[in-house]
Amino acid sequence: MRILGLILFCLMLPGAARADTMATSAGPVRVDEILTGLHTPWAIAFLPDGSYLVTERAGALLHVRDGRARRVTGVPQVAAIGQGGLLDVMVPRDFATSREVFLTYSRARPGGAGTALAVGRLSKDGAALSNVRILFEAAPGARGGRHFGSRVIEAADGRLFVTLGERGDRPSAQDRSTHNGSIVRINRDGSVPQDNPFAGEAGARPEIWSYGHRNPQGAALDRTGALWAVEHGAQGGDEVNRIRRGVNYGWPVIAYGRHYSGARIGEGTAKPGMAQPDFYWDPSIAPSGLMIYSGRLWPDWAGQFFVGSLKFDMISRLAGDPLREEERIAGAATARVRDVAEAPDGSIWVVSEGRGAVYRLTPMR
């Protein structure tokens, strides 16, 4: 581990601070290349001391302080197959006292793999995760490497939401006896909140909060504390949804667009009892991380949605009611965007899978 840490340290030394600019509707943006040499980075989360964590899908959790990245020890073993691996990382609001860090990842289990949520305590120096416990594991899991999700969100009340793909098993997204294609809600200790919508339904998985999702890989709270998610839909049907208790989001019975085979989807684009998206992209952009901006450095963007696009190498900015796409922010930093996050200082950070790098956006002075 020490040797690996040293190698990573050398690979990821910050070079001469490379700064670039990108044009946006809010004026030119300064782009700083913060970290390079990453292998399929997936998510980023900030710690209160100014350091941050980055996941690599193959299984590495990196702690980065002052431009120096070290691989954190004690991370659970991941099943790095297809789209699976180490996925999201989330730092809760009480981190300063709890030192807890949450991870989602694909975990091997009988019959294949399922998305799991684990929590561990990060050491003071950021080098090690200890007391790692699995809080939730999606069942029944599946073989194959498609549609694991996943993001983990700390709600305003401290409960946790985890977004889960349907593992390529479309009908299972409508089946409340599986976690596939759902967003689950659990207490911080992994137990099930009594007011979950299907907690009293025979045969249903009690963790389910909403269902009928295809592959939600981005999620965020808005300024009112409401949960939103973006999901990879069918061809021409990637969606933004406000996530509401007990709601069926329709996949694969309804969806905009078509199956990637060209076949028509289920019963069409709408059906009573199934939610419409709040917005959909056609053509599909392959949406990854979702960030809803505070307005701290760009007041005009307060409350707006920033969604990474894996397919079109850009960040899609959405605003308004109804939501519409107002801008596509693109530059060298937005090659296959996997995550978009706001740092505590209001700067916007971009995790580029295409570049294997992390970028920081700030307004040009």
Binding site for a copy of itself (CB under 8 A): 195, 197, 224, 244, 248, 256, 269-280, 321-323
- SS3 track for the chain: CHHHHHHHHHHCCCCCCCEEEECCCCCCEEEEEEECCCCCEEEEEECCCCCEEEEECCCCEEEEECCEEEECECCCCCCCCCCCCEEEEECCCCHHHHCEEEEEEEEEECCEEEEEEEEEEECCCCCEEEEEEEEEECCCCECCCCCCCCCEEECCCCCEEEECCCCCCHHHHHCCCCCCCEEEEECCCCCCCCCCCCCCCCCCCCCEEEECCCEEEEEEECCCCCEEEEEECCECCEEEEECCCCCECCCCCECCCECCCCCCCCCECCCCCCCCCCEEECCCCCEEEEEECCCCCCHHHCCCEEEEECCCCEEEEEECCCCEEEEEECCHHHCCEEEEEECCCCCEEEEECCCCEEEEEEECC
Strand 215-221 versus strand 227-232 pairing type? antiparallel
Q: Are 180 and 142 in contact (CB under 8 A)?
A: yes
Nearer to a copy of itself by Cβ, of 33 and 231: the residue is 231
For the bound state, the minimum distance from the C-beta of residue 300 to a copy of itself, rounded and expressed in Å, comes to 16
179 is catalytic: no
Cα separation, 108 vs 113, in Å, equals 4
Nearer to a copy of itself by Cβ, of 187 and 269: the residue is 269
Nearer to a copy of itself by Cβ, of 248 and 334: the residue is 248
Nearer to a copy of itself by Cβ, of 40 and 276: the residue is 276
Nearer to a copy of itself by Cβ, of 168 and 197: the residue is 197
Nearer to a copy of itself by Cβ, of 78 and 275: the residue is 275
For the bound state, the minimum distance from the C-beta of residue 304 to a copy of itself, rounded and expressed in Å, comes to 15
Residue (of 268, 274, 164, 166) closest to 219 by Cα position: 164
For the bound state, the minimum distance from the C-beta of residue 252 to a copy of itself, rounded and expressed in Å, comes to 15
For the bound state, the minimum distance from the C-beta of residue 154 to a copy of itself, rounded and expressed in Å, comes to 20
- Residue 193 CA, chain-centre distance (Å), reads 23
For the bound state, the minimum distance from the C-beta of residue 322 to a copy of itself, rounded and expressed in Å, comes to 4
Of 147, 179, 213, 232, catalytic: 147
Nearer to a copy of itself by Cβ, of 241 and 309: the residue is 241
Residue (of 315, 166, 181, 294) closest to 248 by Cα position: 181
For the bound state, the minimum distance from the C-beta of residue 172 to a copy of itself, rounded and expressed in Å, comes to 17
For the bound state, the minimum distance from the C-beta of residue 266 to a copy of itself, rounded and expressed in Å, comes to 13
Give the residue numbers marked as catalytic: 147
